[in-house]
Amino acid sequence: MNNLPSKPSNMKMTPLSRRKFIAGAAATGAGLMFLPRTRLFGANAPSNRLNIALIGAAKRASAHYGTLKDENVIAVCDVDKNHLAKGMAQFPQAKAYEDWRKALDHPGIDAVLCCTPDHTHAFIANWALNRNYHIYMEKPLAITVQEARTVRDHWLGKKNKLATQVGMQRHAEPNFNRLRELIHDGAIGQLREVHAWGNRKFPKPGYLPATGPAPAHLNFDLWLGPSPEHPYNPGYFASDCLSWNMYWDFGIGQMGDMGSHTMDIVWNVIDAGLPTSIKSESPETFNPDVTPVFLTTSFMFPANTWRDKIRVTWHQGGSMPKSPSDWIDLNKISHGALFKGDKGFIVADFTSRLLIPFGGKADLTYFHPREEDKVLPDLGNFQKQWTSACKNGKPDDTACNFEYSANMIESMCLGLAAFRAKEELQYDGAAGRITNNEAANQFLTKPYRSGWTMNG
């Protein structure tokens, strides 16, 4: 992107103005020549590539190497030298960093792709927005209500300039669109109630004990980042995100993990903002170290233009909704959703769906599937949707942008606040306050280490 043929030589271009210029140049080129700029320069032409900083260089990041190879990775950052080496082997032309705060100040960055642990996400997202970078953030976008609200509000002020996407890539499965069409077109009548569930169980007793210093290849202090202090223990690094995401200081357990993907099946259909009330039930008592395994959380979402108010219930760790029929075993679906309307049910997982009209009388004459030309187009490659939005002058044209994704994870975090408060909470989404239990507002945020700010 640095080699644009007609870039004015005397103009100092900030990343933002450079991107605007590129979008403008594209439009002009296409207008004059009647050719899209990808035909003029080639989709992979150096002038059409984003300058990207990759933060968190290995593990989940490896799922993005293919997309990144079509761009220009200029900075790679990881707190683990072994993982940094893996990222640098993929992008040898990049500059290596250990501290993401320094990596974000590498000159010429257009966009950031971040695959670090969850407790750093809102920080890195907000710092990147401060520098006017496009961002792809792995899920979950945030691990507290306050983090989600901060990042959402910040992005909303820049949504006409910066493209954002949260790594809920299952959203690109055509089944997501099919479910939306079926329910919006009335296949189950008026939508009344929704459930989503995930059956994973990773019980942990508490934070791990000190085992001595971290190995030389790992900067454990930077790994902790904004989290409160904890001693090093190799157990946090035994496998992948499942080694740390149950601990409150590092994640929000299954809600942020598979919950991000599974609730997305529902979120894509219901066009919800924030809940007005939230109730959580669990046989477990609050453990200040680890998030609950078994949890049933119900959210009430207000009515909108096409549906009445609805209750959405999230089940995890063994909690399950009642099956619509004895011969359908929902337990066979590890991560699924159940939509109940006044004329039938739909059971779904990420890739398939089952329509069950109510009883023998349901003749489906009330259901008018849309014409072929109104069928929602496939999203295509999820990561490429983001890189295209960074370049094409339509930055808010991503499915899981920081508004959609922050609303969803703010709701999930409210479920954890209700679990901790042990009572049904009333929520004022505009103010971001729990209105019936002042003390429970403490659960909307969490402690951070001094010296770390979200607004850097």
Ligand X SMILES: NC(=O)c1ccc[n+]([C@@H]2O[C@H](COP(=O)([O-])OP(=O)(O)OC[C@H]3O[C@@H](n4cnc5c(N)ncnc54)[C@H](O)[C@@H]3O)[C@@H](O)[C@H]2O)c1
**Residue 220: CB minimum distance to ligand X, A:** 10
367's CB contacts (< 8 A; 6+ apart) are: 185, 186, 187
Binding status of residue 77 toward ligand X by CB under 6 A:
yes
How far apart (Å, rounded) are the C-alpha atoms in residues 232 and 111? 32
**Residue 237: CB minimum distance to ligand X, A:** 7
159's CB contacts (< 8 A; 6+ apart) are: 395, 396, 401, 403
Q: Is the peptide bond before 140 cis (omega within 30 degrees of 0)?
A: yes
Q: Which stretch binds ligand X (CB under 6 A): 77-85, 142-150, 331-339, 373-381?
A: 77-85
**Residue 449: CB minimum distance to ligand X, A:** 12
Q: What are residue 50's phi and psi, to 5 degrees? A: -85, 145
**Residue 299: CB minimum distance to ligand X, A:** 22
* Contacts with ligand X, 413-432, as mask; x by CB under 6 A: --------------------
**One of 56, 259, 336, 357 touching ligand X (CB under 6 A):** 56
**One of 79, 94, 112, 151 touching ligand X (CB under 6 A):** 79
**One of 19, 37, 64, 139 touching ligand X (CB under 6 A):** 139
- Closer CB to ligand X, 168 or 417, in the complex: 168
Binding status of residue 100 toward ligand X by CB under 6 A:
yes
DSSP per residue, 208-227: PPP-SSPPTTB-HHHHHTTS
DSSP code of residue 330: G
How far apart (Å, rounded) are the C-alpha atoms in residues 118 and 127? 15
Residues in a beta bridge with 246 = none
447's CB contacts (< 8 A; 6+ apart) are: 228
* Contacts with ligand X, 234-273, as mask; x by CB under 6 A: ------xx---------------x----------------
How far apart (Å, rounded) are the C-alpha atoms in residues 388 and 401? 13
**Residue 34: CB minimum distance to ligand X, A:** 39
**Residue 29: CB minimum distance to ligand X, A:** 35
- Closer CB to ligand X, 58 or 421, in the complex: 58
Per CB under 6 A, which of residues 57..76 are in contact with ligand X? 57-60
**Residue 79: CB minimum distance to ligand X, A:** 4
DSSP per residue, 153-171: HHHHTTTTT--EEES-GGG
Strand 191-198 relative to strand 335-341: parallel, antiparallel, unpaired? Answer: antiparallel
**One of 169, 254, 296, 407 touching ligand X (CB under 6 A):** 169
What are the angstrom distances between the C-alpha of 174 and each of 11, 131, 142, 330? 44, 34, 26, 22
**One of 18, 49, 64, 83 touching ligand X (CB under 6 A):** 83
DSSP code of residue 140: P
- Closer CB to ligand X, 167 or 317, in the complex: 167
How far apart (Å, rounded) are the C-alpha atoms in residues 101 and 78? 11
- Closer CB to ligand X, 169 or 254, in the complex: 169
- Closer CB to ligand X, 99 or 185, in the complex: 99
How far apart (Å, rounded) are the C-alpha atoms in residues 349 and 267? 13
How far apart (Å, rounded) are the C-alpha atoms in residues 254 and 261? 10
Q: Show the tokens assigned to 214.
A: 């971290």
- Closer CB to ligand X, 251 or 321, in the complex: 251
**One of 167, 259, 336, 415 touching ligand X (CB under 6 A):** 167
**Alpha-carbon torsion (255, 257, 260, 262), positive or negative:** negative
**Residue 268: CB minimum distance to ligand X, A:** 16
**Residue 140: CB minimum distance to ligand X, A:** 7
- Closer CB to ligand X, 57 or 188, in the complex: 57
Q: Judged by CB under 6 A, how many residues of this single chain contact ligand X? A: 27
Binding status of residue 120 toward ligand X by CB under 6 A:
yes
Binding status of residue 80 toward ligand X by CB under 6 A:
yes
CA 80 to chain centroid, in Å, comes to 24
Binding status of residue 115 toward ligand X by CB under 6 A:
yes
**Residue 111: CB minimum distance to ligand X, A:** 16
Radius of gyration over every alpha carbon of the chain, rounded to an integer in angstroms:
23
Per CB under 6 A, which of residues 199..228 are in contact with ligand X? 222-223, 225
Per CB under 6 A, which of residues 348..387 are in contact with ligand X? none
Point out which residues bind ligand X (CB under 6 A).
55-60, 77-80, 83, 100, 115-118, 120, 138-139, 167, 169, 222-223, 225, 240-241, 257
